[in-house]
Chains A and B, each alone.
Chain A
Amino acid sequence: MNGWSWLRILLPSWRFFDSVSAPLALWVESDGRWREVVFPHQYGLFCNPRGNLSLLLYSTLERLLVELSEDPVNPEQLTSYLLVQNLAARDAGAHAYRFEIRDAEHVLLRSPLYTQAAA
């Protein structure tokens, strides 16, 4: 998936929720504790900045898994990976951390341990 693949938006496929996959979750370990990063759900008919930001971040998890299925060799070179890592780093605060993407039953991606300086 190259950087200009977003131009596909000009030819919309109109596939909305055509397959409902297992829900994903981002888990972060810092200070020896694992916790789930929560994407808050909000409503607003006219303006819903928080809710739409959550949808954007959640879709980044989904996109990372798609990109990993296409190029599993160097995940840390993927922009989606760096975006998810950025989320995990912010959640971890000043501590060393690692993160996982999980569905209900499996760990789908496990990162190495990062220090904040490396992030």
Chain B
Amino acid sequence: MNEATEWTARLLALSWLLQALELWRSRRELEALFPWSLVRRDYGLQLGDAAWPWLIALQALLAPTLLSTQPVFPWLALGVALLQAARFRGSYNGGSDAMTLVVLLGLALARTFSPRLGLAYIAAQLVLSYFLAGLFKLRDPAWRDGSALPRLLAAPQYRSAALHVPFARVAGYAVIVFECAFPLALLDAQAAWAFTVAGITFHVLNARVLGLNRFLWAWLAAYPALLAWSVKT
């Protein structure tokens, strides 16, 4: 469990640092196109625009401290991540922000109370993230008849990606099978490793085809918890 906690910390530090670098590089465009001066209406806060780059810098500075065994650092990082979520009215990049918060909270629990507790929380959320996503897709007729993924890839925000997935219909079914079967990863260590390899491949493809690179790193940080718990069961 201790080794898994350290791997979680390393991968989370990398993921969070990459997120900070990404935000820093687009901070001027973000301020122009998604200005805090409009977003802060939601909260009735008078916090000025100048606070925003400092928050990104603080994230970059805190990322390496996640390697420390001191419990205070993941809690501080969690606070900064929540402020970032508020800045973007929930999330900058959907589920990747949610998974980052899950792993931050799990690491904070692991450092403060016990690695078993923190890793159990992360592993449970990881399994749920795939299983529920698969179940929700199964409820949609477009996913069941195979037309959903081709339509998704043709959407404006992904439109150039349609060229890269000629077998989108088959791939759509494969995604549902992979996601719904994911709880089997808890059965034993070999199954966990097989699902880990499949999951990483899935996220690399998502990054390549849909541009969802933040999901790859956020989910990667959650996998050591799954491997630790599958060995235990």
Query: B32 touches which one: A5, A58, A90 (CB < 8 A)?
Result: A90
Assembled-state Cα–Cα distance A28/B121 (Å) = 46
Interface of B, secondary structure class, is helix
Cα separation A67 to B2 with both chains bound (whole Å): 45
- Which of B23, B97, B101, B207 has the most C-beta atoms of chain A within 10 angstroms of its own C-beta? B207
User: B39 touches which one: A38, A55, A79 (CB < 8 A)?
Assistant: A79
A-B contact pairs, 19 of them (CB 8 A): A3-B41, A3-B42, A4-B42, A6-B85, A14-B129, A16-B95, A20-B142, A20-B148, A41-B211, A46-B18, A47-B18, A49-B22, A49-B29, A51-B211, A54-B211, A55-B93, A57-B34, A58-B156, A86-B33
When C-beta atoms are compared, the residue in chain A nearest to B130 turns out to be: A14
Task: Let me know if A56 and B156 touch, CB within 8 A.
Answer: no
Measured CB to CB, the residues of B under 8 A from A are: 18, 21-23, 25-26, 29-30, 32-35, 38-39, 41-44, 85-86, 88-95, 97-99, 101-102, 125, 128-130, 132-133, 136-137, 139-140, 142-143, 148, 151-152, 154-161, 204, 207-208, 211-214, 216
Instruction: Give min CB distance, B196 to chain A, whole Å.
Output: 18
CB of A44 within 8 Å of the partner chain: yes
Interface set, chain A 36-90, CB cutoff 8 A to B: 38-39, 41-60, 63, 79, 82-83, 86-87, 90
